[in-house]
Amino acid sequence: MKTVGLIVLAVMAVLVGAPVLTAVGLMAVGTPAAGEVIRAKPCEGNPLSQHWRAPFEQEYTIATEFGQSRQTGGPPLEGVDLLSAQQPGEVVAAARGVVTSTATQDSGAKAIEIDHAHGITTRYVHLGQIKEGLTDGSKVSIGQPLGTEGGTGTTAGTLLHFQVLVEDVLTDPVQFMRERGTPLNGAAADQWIALDVGDKVLEGGVGFELPEPGEPRKDSLTNPALSVPADIEVLYEQAGEDYGIPGTLLAGIGMTETAHGRNTAESPVGALGLMQFMPETFAAFGVDGDGDGIADIRNDADSIFSAANYLTISGVQNGPDGVREALYAYNQADWYVNDVLFYAHEYGGGIVIGDPIICDDPVNPGNPELPPLTNERIERMFARAQLELGDPYVLGAEGPNAWDCSSFSRMAFAEIGITMPRTARAQRDWLASGNGFRVPLGKERPGDLVFWDSYRGPNEIGHVMIVWDPANMSTIEAKIPRVSHGDYTAGIDKNIFEIWRVGNIADDPEGVT
């Protein structure tokens, strides 16, 4: 159990006991003359930036759904009744937030209410007992124990009544959680932590399903989806895995363009190969898919991998609208977009590895006029981060005892009142939208963030780390196998390598001390 006392010891280690930080010299970071704290700029999107989970560690069932009654003639439920597999089960927080109530209701039910910001509140009703030490104002992490499932109040047995309020309006928790990529499907904790896509795992469980086809459609109205040759199917899947998109989406393009290579003659406008690239487009975006050292427009592997490369560069991982925009960039016709999506779903659909949190103009250099974080805030952030040294790295984990790279950086900055989005790519975009600014290699300072491409393909940021000591390019980060100190020298030659500085911002500037 980590305690506040350990934080004090960690701060002392940062200031006087850690030779690395002595070498860093935090005073070099500087503080604006007035110590001004700027309000953080939010990004578009829903609280997927928070990430959600079911309120149980173990398997569970939905006993009564939202709007139904527990018994004939009874009042309709304002939430859902959940029954854990091994009662009484431990109840945990569905997302990070602040406890606003730990009270016994008029009915006698023990209940906890948590404010998750963004106008969202959750309630946990009929608890058998509330976790000792949990009081109004307590900050809780996602998955933090709140108490045990119980039968207090007017219930006929042991259960958890789970409620969700959006802008003070009671909302169906099943629909709410489904929209956030974490359906209430009865899965145990080790099944909700991350979504599996082949042998890959989505960071934080963040991903989204391919959008459904719309209207108009053209070729798909009369031409059914043809079988995919085995060797071509393998290439679709391999390219999809490498670039973080469903192989079925590439199959949708292959079917629309050449029926998977059955019609590869040069098109009337000069397009070539299985995925029908114009030579000038292939010259800019073509890649060597089969590893023979040559990017050949007529080679099936090169054509398919180049299509995946082009889609990711065109923003296919930027939410459902990004999929449509990327397909439109591939062939600028609405019917084409819908035909490809129709075929993709015929081949099984799938999940795109991405983050629906969208920030304005993510390619800009941010706001260089922002004052940098103060020394005191960096010290507090480092002290909090050091408490997790040795915790295991688990892709998709949100703490409190296991982390992936972006949940770790998110946790560290939350200590100083800064809420960043959940994934590494979204964190960089959030900085670029006005919450930080990019700095060149050699000008980095303690507390800066380093991003590079990783498991999401060469065109997508997949890893983030916190600069510890610029003198030796050291970091503090969550990486396989555990939270530890590392360095960022290995990423300098990657396709994406960026260093960003977080401005002296906060969710609530008046609350910063």
pLDDT one-digit tens code per residue, 126-178: 999 999 889 999 888 777 889 999 989 887 789 999 999 988 999 999 888 87
Note the pLDDT of residue 39: 87
- Comparing 54-188 with 207-353, is the CATH topology the same? no
Q: How far apart are alpha carbons 360 and 430 in whole angstroms?
A: 8
Domain-wise residue ranges, the chain: 4-48+360-511, 54-188, 207-353
Residues making up the chain, counted from first to last: 513
What is the average pLDDT across 479-489? Answer: 94
What is the average pLDDT across 404-432? Answer: 89
Residue 14 has pLDDT above 50, yes or no: no
Cα 496 versus chain centre, distance: 19
DSSP letter, residue 490: G
Q: How far apart are alpha carbons 246 and 233 in whole angstroms?
A: 12
Confidence at 389, pLDDT banded by 50, 70, 90: very high
> What does CATH list as the number for 4-48+360-511?
3.90.1720.10
Note the pLDDT of residue 35: 65
What is the average pLDDT across 98-121? Answer: 89
Cis peptide before 213 (omega within 30 of 0): no
| Tokens 């059955």, located at residue | 262
Q: How far apart are alpha carbons 39 and 94 in whole angstroms?
A: 26
Note the pLDDT of residue 513: 62
What is the average pLDDT across 481-510? Answer: 93
Alpha helices in 101-246 (DSSP H): 173-179, 189-192, 230-243
Is the Cβ–Cβ distance between 95 and 116 less than 8 Å?
A: yes
Residue 375 has pLDDT above 60, yes or no: yes
261's tokens = 């290579």
Q: How far apart are alpha carbons 106 and 125 in whole angstroms?
A: 12
Confidence at 456, pLDDT banded by 50, 70, 90: low
**In this structure, which CATH number among 1.10.530.10, 3.40.50.10470, 3.40.50.670, 3.40.50.150 belongs to the domain 207-353?**
1.10.530.10
Class assignment of domain 54-188? mainly beta
Q: Which residue in 167, 250, 219, 268 sits closest to 457, CA to CA?
A: 250
Handedness of CA 490, 491, 493, 498 (dihedral sign): negative
